[in-house]
Structure 1
Protein backbone atom coordinates (compact mmCIF):
# COMPACT_ATOMS: atom_id res chain seq x y z
CA UNK A 1 0.00 0.00 0.00
CA UNK A 2 1.01 3.64 -0.11
CA UNK A 3 -0.11 7.00 1.19
CA UNK A 4 -2.06 9.65 -0.71
CA UNK A 5 -1.85 13.39 -0.17
CA UNK A 6 -4.78 15.65 -1.04
CA UNK A 7 -3.74 18.21 -3.64
CA UNK A 8 -7.11 19.83 -4.42
CA UNK A 9 -10.71 19.83 -3.21
CA UNK A 10 -13.55 20.98 -5.49
CA UNK A 11 -17.27 20.86 -4.60
CA UNK A 12 -19.28 19.41 -7.50
CA UNK A 13 -22.78 19.56 -6.03
CA UNK A 14 -24.21 20.16 -2.54
CA UNK A 15 -23.61 16.47 -1.74
CA UNK A 16 -20.54 15.54 -3.77
CA UNK A 17 -16.95 16.73 -3.65
CA UNK A 18 -14.06 15.91 -5.99
CA UNK A 19 -10.55 15.43 -4.65
CA UNK A 20 -7.27 14.96 -6.41
CA UNK A 21 -4.38 13.12 -4.82
CA UNK A 22 -0.69 12.55 -5.41
CA UNK A 23 1.31 9.69 -3.99
CA UNK A 24 4.01 7.10 -4.55
CA UNK A 25 3.26 4.43 -7.12
CA UNK A 26 0.41 6.19 -8.92
CA UNK A 27 2.42 6.59 -12.12
CA UNK A 28 2.89 2.82 -12.20
CA UNK A 29 -0.83 2.02 -12.11
CA UNK A 30 -2.31 1.24 -15.51
CA UNK A 31 -5.74 2.21 -16.78
CA UNK A 32 -8.79 -0.02 -17.32
CA UNK A 33 -12.58 0.31 -16.99
CA UNK A 34 -14.14 0.63 -13.56
CA UNK A 35 -10.99 0.78 -11.41
CA UNK A 36 -11.64 -0.07 -7.76
CA UNK A 37 -9.42 0.71 -4.79
CA UNK A 38 -9.43 0.73 -1.00
CA UNK A 39 -8.98 4.02 0.83
CA UNK A 40 -7.90 4.05 4.47
CA UNK A 41 -8.93 6.88 6.78
CA UNK A 42 -6.99 7.39 10.02
CA UNK A 43 -8.76 7.26 13.36
CA UNK A 44 -8.28 10.21 15.74
CA UNK A 45 -4.60 10.58 16.55
CA UNK A 46 -3.89 7.53 14.39
CA UNK A 47 -2.20 6.79 11.07
CA UNK A 48 -3.50 5.67 7.68
CA UNK A 49 -0.38 3.55 7.09
CA UNK A 50 -0.60 -0.25 7.38
CA UNK A 51 2.19 -1.96 5.42
CA UNK A 52 4.63 -1.39 2.55
CA UNK A 53 3.54 -4.64 0.92
CA UNK A 54 1.48 -4.72 -2.29
CA UNK A 55 0.67 -8.38 -1.69
CA UNK A 56 -2.97 -8.43 -0.62
CA UNK A 57 -2.59 -11.36 1.80
CA UNK A 58 0.40 -9.80 3.57
CA UNK A 59 -1.16 -6.34 3.63
CA UNK A 60 -4.53 -7.51 4.92
CA UNK A 61 -2.97 -9.62 7.67
CA UNK A 62 -1.00 -6.56 8.77
CA UNK A 63 -4.23 -4.56 8.73
CA UNK A 64 -6.05 -7.09 10.91
CA UNK A 65 -3.10 -7.29 13.29
CA UNK A 66 -3.39 -3.63 14.23
CA UNK A 67 -5.21 -2.88 17.49
CA UNK A 68 -8.81 -1.85 16.85
CA UNK A 69 -8.21 1.65 18.19
CA UNK A 70 -5.33 2.16 15.73
CA UNK A 71 -6.71 0.32 12.70
CA UNK A 72 -7.75 2.88 10.06
CA UNK A 73 -11.25 2.76 8.64
CA UNK A 74 -11.25 1.14 5.20
CA UNK A 75 -13.77 1.90 2.46
CA UNK A 76 -14.05 0.94 -1.22
CA UNK A 77 -14.10 3.58 -3.94
CA UNK A 78 -14.06 3.85 -7.71
CA UNK A 79 -11.38 5.86 -9.48
CA UNK A 80 -12.89 8.82 -11.33
CA UNK A 81 -9.66 9.29 -13.26
CA UNK A 82 -5.96 8.52 -13.00
CA UNK A 83 -3.80 10.58 -15.34
CA UNK A 84 -0.06 11.32 -15.14
CA UNK A 85 0.17 10.20 -11.53
CA UNK A 86 -2.80 12.29 -10.35
CA UNK A 87 -5.68 10.33 -8.83
CA UNK A 88 -9.19 11.79 -8.81
CA UNK A 89 -11.90 10.42 -6.51
CA UNK A 90 -15.44 11.78 -6.05
CA UNK A 91 -16.91 11.53 -2.51
CA UNK A 92 -20.59 11.53 -1.64
CA UNK A 93 -21.30 13.66 1.43
CA UNK A 94 -23.99 11.62 3.15
CA UNK A 95 -24.40 14.07 6.02
CA UNK A 96 -23.75 11.33 8.56
CA UNK A 97 -20.84 10.33 10.77
CA UNK A 98 -19.51 7.63 8.44
CA UNK A 99 -15.70 7.83 8.40
CA UNK A 100 -15.28 8.50 4.66
CA UNK A 101 -18.08 11.06 4.42
CA UNK A 102 -17.04 12.80 7.64
CA UNK A 103 -13.42 12.97 6.48
CA UNK A 104 -14.36 14.26 3.02
CA UNK A 105 -16.58 17.00 4.46
CA UNK A 106 -13.59 18.75 6.07
CA UNK A 107 -10.63 17.51 3.97
CA UNK A 108 -8.12 20.05 2.72
CA UNK A 109 -4.91 20.02 0.66
CA UNK A 110 -2.11 18.33 2.56
CA UNK A 111 -4.31 15.80 4.35
CA UNK A 112 -3.11 12.19 4.09
CA UNK A 113 -4.99 8.89 3.73
CA UNK A 114 -3.94 5.38 2.70
CA UNK A 115 -4.42 3.53 -0.59
CA UNK A 116 -4.45 -0.12 -1.59
CA UNK A 117 -5.06 -0.80 -5.28
CA UNK A 118 -6.40 -0.54 -7.86
CA UNK A 119 -5.30 -3.96 -9.08
CA UNK A 120 -5.49 -5.17 -12.70
CA UNK A 121 -6.42 -8.60 -11.30
CA UNK A 122 -9.97 -7.28 -11.03
CA UNK A 123 -10.11 -5.62 -14.43
CA UNK A 124 -13.17 -6.49 -16.51
CA UNK A 125 -13.70 -5.28 -20.10
CA UNK A 126 -16.70 -3.33 -21.27
CA UNK A 127 -19.31 -5.36 -23.10
CA UNK A 128 -19.54 -5.38 -26.88
CA UNK A 129 -23.34 -5.74 -27.20
CA UNK A 130 -25.37 -3.46 -29.44
CA UNK A 131 -26.88 -1.85 -26.32
CA UNK A 132 -25.14 -1.16 -23.00
CA UNK A 133 -27.15 -0.29 -19.87
CA UNK A 134 -25.64 1.46 -16.85
CA UNK A 135 -27.62 1.97 -13.64
CA UNK A 136 -26.73 3.07 -10.13
CA UNK A 137 -27.16 5.69 -7.43
CA UNK A 138 -24.86 8.60 -6.63
CA UNK A 139 -22.22 6.28 -5.17
CA UNK A 140 -21.96 4.65 -8.60
CA UNK A 141 -21.93 7.95 -10.52
CA UNK A 142 -18.11 8.26 -10.65
CA UNK A 143 -17.86 4.76 -12.13
CA UNK A 144 -20.68 5.32 -14.62
CA UNK A 145 -19.27 8.67 -15.72
CA UNK A 146 -15.81 7.20 -16.30
CA UNK A 147 -17.26 4.23 -18.20
CA UNK A 148 -19.35 6.45 -20.47
CA UNK A 149 -16.21 8.38 -21.40
CA UNK A 150 -14.79 5.17 -22.88
CA UNK A 151 -17.66 4.60 -25.31
CA UNK A 152 -17.39 5.35 -29.00
CA UNK A 153 -19.84 7.92 -30.43
CA UNK A 154 -21.63 5.11 -32.26
CA UNK A 155 -22.25 2.97 -29.18
CA UNK A 156 -25.90 2.78 -28.09
CA UNK A 157 -26.40 3.01 -24.34
CA UNK A 158 -28.86 3.84 -21.59
CA UNK A 159 -27.60 5.33 -18.32
CA UNK A 160 -29.71 5.91 -15.20
CA UNK A 161 -28.49 7.49 -11.97
CA UNK A 162 -30.63 7.93 -8.86
CA UNK A 163 -29.84 11.12 -6.92
CA UNK A 164 -31.48 13.14 -4.16
CA UNK A 165 -32.79 16.03 -6.25
CA UNK A 166 -32.01 18.15 -9.37
CA UNK A 167 -29.25 20.04 -7.53
CA UNK A 168 -27.18 16.84 -7.61
CA UNK A 169 -27.14 16.56 -11.41
CA UNK A 170 -23.79 16.83 -13.19
CA UNK A 171 -22.98 17.64 -16.80
CA UNK A 172 -22.64 14.07 -18.03
CA UNK A 173 -24.07 13.56 -21.53
CA UNK A 174 -26.61 10.80 -21.90
CA UNK A 175 -27.42 10.24 -18.21
CA UNK A 176 -31.10 10.04 -17.27
CA UNK A 177 -31.48 11.36 -13.74
CA UNK A 178 -33.84 9.71 -11.25
CA UNK A 179 -34.85 12.12 -8.46
CA UNK A 180 -35.78 10.75 -5.05
CA UNK A 181 -37.27 14.16 -4.25
CA UNK A 182 -39.90 13.50 -6.93
CA UNK A 183 -40.74 10.09 -5.47
CA UNK A 184 -38.89 8.14 -8.16
CA UNK A 185 -36.49 5.26 -7.55
CA UNK A 186 -33.89 3.51 -9.66
CA UNK A 187 -35.45 0.05 -9.67
CA UNK A 188 -38.86 1.25 -10.85
CA UNK A 189 -37.43 3.43 -13.60
CA UNK A 190 -34.97 0.87 -14.95
CA UNK A 191 -37.34 -2.10 -14.87
CA UNK A 192 -39.84 -0.07 -16.92
CA UNK A 193 -37.39 0.03 -19.85
CA UNK A 194 -37.81 -2.32 -22.80
CA UNK A 195 -34.36 -3.75 -23.54
CA UNK A 196 -33.38 -6.82 -25.59
CA UNK A 197 -31.86 -9.95 -24.10
CA UNK A 198 -28.66 -9.21 -26.02
CA UNK A 199 -27.94 -6.20 -23.76
CA UNK A 200 -24.78 -5.82 -21.62
CA UNK A 201 -25.51 -4.39 -18.16
CA UNK A 202 -23.50 -2.59 -15.48
CA UNK A 203 -25.08 -2.12 -12.03
CA UNK A 204 -23.78 -0.42 -8.89
CA UNK A 205 -25.07 1.22 -5.73
CA UNK A 206 -27.20 0.15 -2.77
CA UNK A 207 -26.98 -3.62 -2.49
CA UNK A 208 -30.67 -4.54 -2.42
CA UNK A 209 -31.41 -2.33 -5.44
CA UNK A 210 -28.52 -3.90 -7.34
CA UNK A 211 -29.79 -7.40 -6.53
CA UNK A 212 -33.33 -6.51 -7.64
CA UNK A 213 -32.08 -5.10 -10.94
CA UNK A 214 -29.83 -8.07 -11.60
CA UNK A 215 -32.75 -10.45 -11.04
CA UNK A 216 -34.86 -8.35 -13.40
CA UNK A 217 -32.36 -8.48 -16.25
CA UNK A 218 -31.74 -12.20 -15.79
CA UNK A 219 -35.51 -12.74 -15.98
CA UNK A 220 -35.53 -10.69 -19.18
CA UNK A 221 -33.10 -13.15 -20.73
CA UNK A 222 -29.85 -11.23 -20.31
CA UNK A 223 -26.99 -13.69 -19.77
CA UNK A 224 -25.49 -13.60 -16.27
CA UNK A 225 -22.03 -13.25 -17.81
CA UNK A 226 -23.20 -10.00 -19.43
CA UNK A 227 -24.16 -8.38 -16.13
CA UNK A 228 -21.49 -6.61 -14.09
CA UNK A 229 -22.83 -5.80 -10.61
CA UNK A 230 -21.58 -4.52 -7.27
CA UNK A 231 -23.40 -3.58 -4.08
CA UNK A 232 -21.43 -0.54 -2.92
CA UNK A 233 -23.31 -0.01 0.33
CA UNK A 234 -25.99 -1.58 2.51
CA UNK A 235 -28.93 0.23 4.05
CA UNK A 236 -28.45 0.62 7.84
CA UNK A 237 -25.12 -1.24 7.66
CA UNK A 238 -21.49 -0.31 6.99
CA UNK A 239 -18.51 -2.19 5.56
CA UNK A 240 -17.45 -2.80 9.17
CA UNK A 241 -20.57 -4.87 9.84
CA UNK A 242 -20.65 -8.61 9.21
CA UNK A 243 -21.98 -9.76 5.83
CA UNK A 244 -25.64 -10.76 5.65
CA UNK A 245 -26.89 -13.91 3.93
CA UNK A 246 -27.76 -11.75 0.91
CA UNK A 247 -24.22 -10.34 0.86
CA UNK A 248 -22.75 -13.85 0.90
CA UNK A 249 -25.08 -14.94 -1.89
CA UNK A 250 -24.06 -11.91 -3.94
CA UNK A 251 -20.38 -12.72 -3.43
CA UNK A 252 -20.96 -16.27 -4.63
CA UNK A 253 -22.79 -14.98 -7.70
CA UNK A 254 -19.94 -12.62 -8.51
CA UNK A 255 -17.39 -15.44 -8.19
CA UNK A 256 -19.55 -17.66 -10.39
CA UNK A 257 -19.83 -14.92 -13.00
CA UNK A 258 -16.05 -14.47 -13.06
CA UNK A 259 -15.54 -18.19 -13.71
CA UNK A 260 -17.97 -18.35 -16.63
Structure 2
Protein backbone atom coordinates (compact mmCIF):
# COMPACT_ATOMS: atom_id res chain seq x y z
CA UNK A 1 0.00 0.00 0.00
CA UNK A 2 1.22 3.52 -0.69
CA UNK A 3 0.06 7.10 -0.61
CA UNK A 4 1.02 10.05 -2.76
CA UNK A 5 1.80 13.33 -1.05
CA UNK A 6 -1.01 15.77 -1.88
CA UNK A 7 0.11 18.64 0.33
CA UNK A 8 2.32 19.42 3.31
CA UNK A 9 2.19 21.95 6.11
CA UNK A 10 4.70 23.05 8.74
CA UNK A 11 2.60 23.00 11.92
CA UNK A 12 5.42 23.93 14.31
CA UNK A 13 9.20 24.28 13.96
CA UNK A 14 9.52 20.51 14.41
CA UNK A 15 6.17 19.10 13.27
CA UNK A 16 5.30 18.52 9.61
CA UNK A 17 1.86 17.48 8.41
CA UNK A 18 1.61 15.19 5.39
CA UNK A 19 -1.69 14.64 3.60
CA UNK A 20 -1.59 11.54 1.40
CA UNK A 21 -4.02 10.29 -1.23
CA UNK A 22 -4.16 8.58 -4.59
CA UNK A 23 -5.13 5.11 -5.84
CA UNK A 24 -2.48 3.42 -3.68
CA UNK A 25 -4.76 4.00 -0.68
CA UNK A 26 -7.72 2.26 -2.28
CA UNK A 27 -7.54 -0.63 0.20
CA UNK A 28 -6.94 1.54 3.27
CA UNK A 29 -9.47 0.93 6.03
CA UNK A 30 -9.72 2.90 9.25
CA UNK A 31 -8.69 1.15 12.47
CA UNK A 32 -10.86 1.29 15.57
CA UNK A 33 -8.40 2.96 17.93
CA UNK A 34 -7.54 6.62 18.31
CA UNK A 35 -3.87 5.57 18.36
CA UNK A 36 -4.14 3.93 14.92
CA UNK A 37 -0.76 3.76 13.20
CA UNK A 38 0.88 2.77 9.93
CA UNK A 39 4.35 1.33 9.42
CA UNK A 40 6.11 3.36 6.77
CA UNK A 41 9.13 2.30 4.71
CA UNK A 42 11.72 4.93 3.74
CA UNK A 43 14.30 3.83 1.11
CA UNK A 44 17.92 4.86 1.73
CA UNK A 45 19.51 7.54 -0.42
CA UNK A 46 20.39 6.18 -3.83
CA UNK A 47 18.01 3.22 -3.68
CA UNK A 48 17.58 1.65 -7.12
CA UNK A 49 14.05 0.42 -6.46
CA UNK A 50 10.78 2.25 -6.00
CA UNK A 51 9.06 4.56 -5.61
CA UNK A 52 6.46 1.80 -5.07
CA UNK A 53 7.96 -1.42 -3.69
CA UNK A 54 7.29 -4.39 -1.42
CA UNK A 55 9.41 -3.96 1.74
CA UNK A 56 9.48 -7.72 2.38
CA UNK A 57 10.66 -8.41 -1.16
CA UNK A 58 13.40 -5.79 -0.86
CA UNK A 59 14.54 -7.33 2.42
CA UNK A 60 14.60 -10.81 0.88
CA UNK A 61 16.44 -9.89 -2.31
CA UNK A 62 18.68 -6.91 -1.53
CA UNK A 63 21.70 -6.38 0.71
CA UNK A 64 21.02 -4.86 4.13
CA UNK A 65 22.35 -1.44 3.17
CA UNK A 66 19.53 -1.15 0.61
CA UNK A 67 16.73 -2.07 3.02
CA UNK A 68 14.20 0.68 3.75
CA UNK A 69 14.06 2.18 7.23
CA UNK A 70 10.83 1.17 8.97
CA UNK A 71 9.05 3.67 11.19
CA UNK A 72 5.66 3.75 12.90
CA UNK A 73 3.45 6.86 12.67
CA UNK A 74 0.08 7.60 14.19
CA UNK A 75 -2.80 8.30 11.85
CA UNK A 76 -3.78 11.84 12.74
CA UNK A 77 -6.88 11.66 10.58
CA UNK A 78 -8.45 9.45 7.92
CA UNK A 79 -10.99 11.21 5.70
CA UNK A 80 -13.08 8.37 4.33
CA UNK A 81 -15.03 10.56 1.90
CA UNK A 82 -11.96 12.20 0.39
CA UNK A 83 -9.78 9.08 0.85
CA UNK A 84 -7.07 11.22 2.42
CA UNK A 85 -4.66 10.11 5.14
CA UNK A 86 -3.04 12.69 7.44
CA UNK A 87 0.22 11.99 9.28
CA UNK A 88 2.03 14.43 11.58
CA UNK A 89 5.77 13.75 11.66
CA UNK A 90 8.28 15.07 14.21
CA UNK A 91 11.45 16.38 12.56
CA UNK A 92 14.64 17.02 14.55
CA UNK A 93 17.31 18.38 12.23
CA UNK A 94 18.89 16.01 9.75
CA UNK A 95 18.85 13.00 12.08
CA UNK A 96 16.89 9.87 11.32
CA UNK A 97 15.17 8.66 8.18
CA UNK A 98 11.49 9.62 8.28
CA UNK A 99 11.86 13.14 9.67
CA UNK A 100 14.16 14.47 6.93
CA UNK A 101 12.03 12.68 4.33
CA UNK A 102 8.88 14.37 5.63
CA UNK A 103 10.53 17.79 5.74
CA UNK A 104 11.62 17.45 2.10
CA UNK A 105 8.39 15.84 0.86
CA UNK A 106 6.62 17.50 -2.05
CA UNK A 107 3.34 16.76 -3.89
CA UNK A 108 3.73 13.62 -5.95
CA UNK A 109 6.24 11.94 -3.65
CA UNK A 110 5.29 8.40 -2.61
CA UNK A 111 5.21 6.88 0.86
CA UNK A 112 5.01 3.07 1.13
CA UNK A 113 3.29 1.69 4.24
CA UNK A 114 1.49 -1.22 5.86
CA UNK A 115 -1.41 -1.14 8.31
CA UNK A 116 -3.22 0.41 9.97
CA UNK A 117 -3.25 -1.19 13.41
CA UNK A 118 -4.36 0.18 16.78
CA UNK A 119 -4.36 -0.67 20.47
CA UNK A 120 -6.19 2.08 22.35
CA UNK A 121 -9.51 3.83 22.37
CA UNK A 122 -10.85 5.86 25.33
CA UNK A 123 -13.12 3.71 27.49
CA UNK A 124 -16.61 5.26 27.49
CA UNK A 125 -17.27 3.76 30.92
CA UNK A 126 -14.31 5.51 32.58
CA UNK A 127 -15.09 8.43 34.88
CA UNK A 128 -12.30 10.47 33.29
CA UNK A 129 -9.31 10.21 30.98
CA UNK A 130 -5.64 11.01 31.60
CA UNK A 131 -3.67 11.84 28.44
CA UNK A 132 0.07 12.38 28.88
CA UNK A 133 2.81 12.71 26.28
CA UNK A 134 5.17 14.75 24.16
CA UNK A 135 5.36 15.65 20.47
CA UNK A 136 5.54 12.00 19.44
CA UNK A 137 2.25 11.25 21.22
CA UNK A 138 0.51 14.44 20.13
CA UNK A 139 -1.29 12.99 17.06
CA UNK A 140 -2.88 10.19 19.11
CA UNK A 141 -3.81 12.53 21.97
CA UNK A 142 -5.33 15.02 19.52
CA UNK A 143 -7.34 12.24 17.84
CA UNK A 144 -8.47 10.96 21.25
CA UNK A 145 -9.69 14.41 22.33
CA UNK A 146 -11.67 14.74 19.11
CA UNK A 147 -13.28 11.34 19.75
CA UNK A 148 -14.40 12.15 23.31
CA UNK A 149 -18.07 13.15 23.49
CA UNK A 150 -19.69 16.02 25.33
CA UNK A 151 -19.93 15.13 29.00
CA UNK A 152 -16.63 13.25 29.06
CA UNK A 153 -13.75 14.60 31.11
CA UNK A 154 -10.05 14.64 30.19
CA UNK A 155 -6.91 15.79 32.00
CA UNK A 156 -4.11 16.44 29.51
CA UNK A 157 -0.44 17.14 30.18
CA UNK A 158 1.79 17.74 27.16
CA UNK A 159 5.45 18.69 26.96
CA UNK A 160 7.22 20.50 24.13
CA UNK A 161 10.16 22.87 23.57
CA UNK A 162 8.23 26.14 23.89
CA UNK A 163 5.04 28.05 23.03
CA UNK A 164 5.80 27.97 19.31
CA UNK A 165 5.59 24.16 19.46
CA UNK A 166 2.03 24.09 20.82
CA UNK A 167 -0.85 23.27 18.47
CA UNK A 168 -4.60 23.92 18.86
CA UNK A 169 -6.55 20.97 20.24
CA UNK A 170 -10.30 20.51 19.89
CA UNK A 171 -12.74 18.43 21.90
CA UNK A 172 -16.40 18.33 22.85
CA UNK A 173 -15.32 17.03 26.26
CA UNK A 174 -14.43 19.01 29.36
CA UNK A 175 -10.64 19.33 29.09
CA UNK A 176 -8.05 20.35 31.68
CA UNK A 177 -5.05 21.03 29.42
CA UNK A 178 -1.58 22.18 30.45
CA UNK A 179 1.37 22.58 28.11
CA UNK A 180 4.77 22.14 29.76
CA UNK A 181 7.98 23.55 28.28
CA UNK A 182 11.39 21.95 28.53
CA UNK A 183 14.22 24.15 29.83
CA UNK A 184 17.92 23.70 30.65
CA UNK A 185 16.96 23.57 34.33
CA UNK A 186 14.10 21.15 33.76
CA UNK A 187 14.48 19.11 30.56
CA UNK A 188 11.96 16.47 31.72
CA UNK A 189 9.02 18.22 33.44
CA UNK A 190 6.36 15.65 32.59
CA UNK A 191 6.79 13.16 35.49
CA UNK A 192 6.66 15.93 38.10
CA UNK A 193 3.54 17.38 36.49
CA UNK A 194 1.73 14.05 36.69
CA UNK A 195 2.80 13.53 40.30
CA UNK A 196 1.45 16.98 41.18
CA UNK A 197 -2.04 16.27 39.81
CA UNK A 198 -5.09 16.19 42.01
CA UNK A 199 -6.91 13.23 40.52
CA UNK A 200 -10.65 13.61 39.94
CA UNK A 201 -12.92 11.03 41.54
CA UNK A 202 -13.71 7.77 39.80
CA UNK A 203 -11.91 5.30 37.57
CA UNK A 204 -9.41 6.79 35.16
CA UNK A 205 -8.43 5.43 31.75
CA UNK A 206 -4.90 6.61 30.93
CA UNK A 207 -2.88 7.07 27.75
CA UNK A 208 0.82 7.68 28.53
CA UNK A 209 3.31 7.71 25.66
CA UNK A 210 6.54 9.50 24.79
CA UNK A 211 10.21 9.55 25.82
CA UNK A 212 11.27 6.24 27.38
CA UNK A 213 12.69 7.30 30.75
CA UNK A 214 9.91 9.82 31.38
CA UNK A 215 7.22 7.31 30.49
CA UNK A 216 8.81 4.67 32.70
CA UNK A 217 8.79 7.04 35.70
CA UNK A 218 5.16 8.06 35.09
CA UNK A 219 4.04 4.45 34.66
CA UNK A 220 5.71 3.45 37.93
CA UNK A 221 4.03 6.36 39.74
CA UNK A 222 0.58 5.59 38.36
CA UNK A 223 0.77 1.88 39.21
CA UNK A 224 2.45 2.04 42.62
CA UNK A 225 1.23 5.34 44.07
CA UNK A 226 -2.05 6.07 42.26
CA UNK A 227 -3.36 2.53 42.21
CA UNK A 228 -4.05 2.22 38.49
CA UNK A 229 -4.17 -1.25 36.99
CA UNK A 230 -2.38 -2.18 33.81
CA UNK A 231 -5.76 -2.75 32.18
CA UNK A 232 -6.64 0.91 32.76
CA UNK A 233 -3.52 2.25 31.07
CA UNK A 234 -2.06 2.35 27.58
CA UNK A 235 1.65 3.01 28.06
CA UNK A 236 4.55 2.83 25.62
CA UNK A 237 8.01 4.41 25.21
CA UNK A 238 8.17 5.77 21.66
CA UNK A 239 11.78 7.01 21.72
CA UNK A 240 14.73 7.54 24.06
CA UNK A 241 16.75 10.67 24.66
CA UNK A 242 20.38 10.51 23.43
CA UNK A 243 19.60 7.54 21.16
CA UNK A 244 19.03 7.40 17.42
CA UNK A 245 15.94 5.63 16.13
CA UNK A 246 17.97 2.58 15.11
CA UNK A 247 19.82 2.38 18.44
CA UNK A 248 16.53 2.64 20.33
CA UNK A 249 14.86 -0.04 18.23
CA UNK A 250 17.76 -2.37 19.06
CA UNK A 251 17.23 -2.09 22.84
CA UNK A 252 13.53 -1.29 23.11
CA UNK A 253 12.43 -4.87 23.79
CA UNK A 254 14.79 -5.17 26.76
CA UNK A 255 13.80 -1.72 28.04
CA UNK A 256 10.09 -2.56 27.93
CA UNK A 257 10.73 -5.83 29.77
CA UNK A 258 12.58 -3.95 32.52
CA UNK A 259 9.79 -1.35 32.64
CA UNK A 260 7.17 -4.07 33.01
CA UNK A 261 9.14 -5.52 35.91
CA UNK A 262 9.00 -2.21 37.80
CA UNK A 263 5.40 -2.77 38.87
User: Deviation at 1:124?
Assistant: 3.3
Q: How well do the aligned residues superpose, as a CA RMSD in angstroms?
A: 2.3
Give 5+ residue unaligned stretches, structure 1.
52-58, 254-260
Query: What corresponds to 2:227 in structure 1?
Result: 221
Query: For 1:28 and 1:76, how far apart are their aligned partners in 2?
Result: 16
Query: For 1:168 and 1:124, how far apart are their aligned partners in 2?
Result: 25
The answer as to whether partners of 1:162 and 1:178 remain within 8 angstroms in 2 is yes
The answer as to whether partners of 2:52 and 2:110 remain within 8 angstroms in 1 is no
Query: What corresponds to 1:199 in structure 2?
Result: 204
1:134 paired with 2:131, answer: yes
Paired residues, number:
242
Query: For 1:146 and 1:124, how far apart are their aligned partners in 2?
Result: 11
User: Deviation at 1:49?
Assistant: 4.6
- Within a 5 Å distance, the mapping from 1:62-211 to structure 2 comes to 63=59, 66-84=62-80, 85-119=83-117, 122-127=118-123, 128-173=125-170, 174=175, 175-181=177-183, 183-184=185-186, 185-195=189-199, 198-211=203-216
Query: For 1:202 and 1:10, how far apart are their aligned partners in 2?
Result: 27
Query: For 2:221 and 2:152, how far apart are their aligned partners in 1?
Result: 23
User: Deviation at 1:191?
Assistant: 1.5
CA-to-aligned-CA distance 1:54-81 (integer Å, 9 cap, x gap): xxxxx65863653222111111110000
Query: For 1:240 and 1:64, how far apart are their aligned partners in 2?
Result: 20
With 30-39 and 198-207 compared, the bigger mean Cα shift is at: 30-39
Give 5+ residue unaligned stretches, structure 2.
none
CA-to-aligned-CA distance 1:160-216 (integer Å, 9 cap, x gap): 110000111111144310111485511111111122572111011111111111111
User: Deviation at 1:103?
Assistant: 1.1
- Sort the Cα spacing of 1:38 and 1:10 in 2 relative to 1 into closer, same or farther, 3 A: same
Query: TM-score, normalization: structure 2?
Result: 0.83
User: Deviation at 1:107?
Assistant: 1.3
Query: TM-score, normalization: structure 1?
Result: 0.84
Query: For 2:28 and 2:13, how far apart are their aligned partners in 1?
Result: 34
CA-to-aligned-CA distance 1:39-64 (integer Å, 9 cap, x gap): 1111112236552xxxxxxx658636
User: Deviation at 1:96?
Assistant: 3.5
User: Deviation at 1:6?
Assistant: 0.7
What SS does the aligned partner of 2:65 have? coil
What SS does the aligned partner of 1:172 have? coil
What SS does the aligned partner of 1:214 have? helix
Query: For 1:246 and 1:145, how far apart are their aligned partners in 2?
Result: 27
The answer as to whether partners of 2:15 and 2:91 remain within 8 angstroms in 1 is yes
Query: For 1:61 and 1:194, how far apart are their aligned partners in 2?
Result: 52
- Sort the Cα spacing of 1:246 and 1:197 in 2 relative to 1 into closer, same or farther, 3 A: farther
Query: For 1:76 and 1:176, how far apart are their aligned partners in 2?
Result: 26
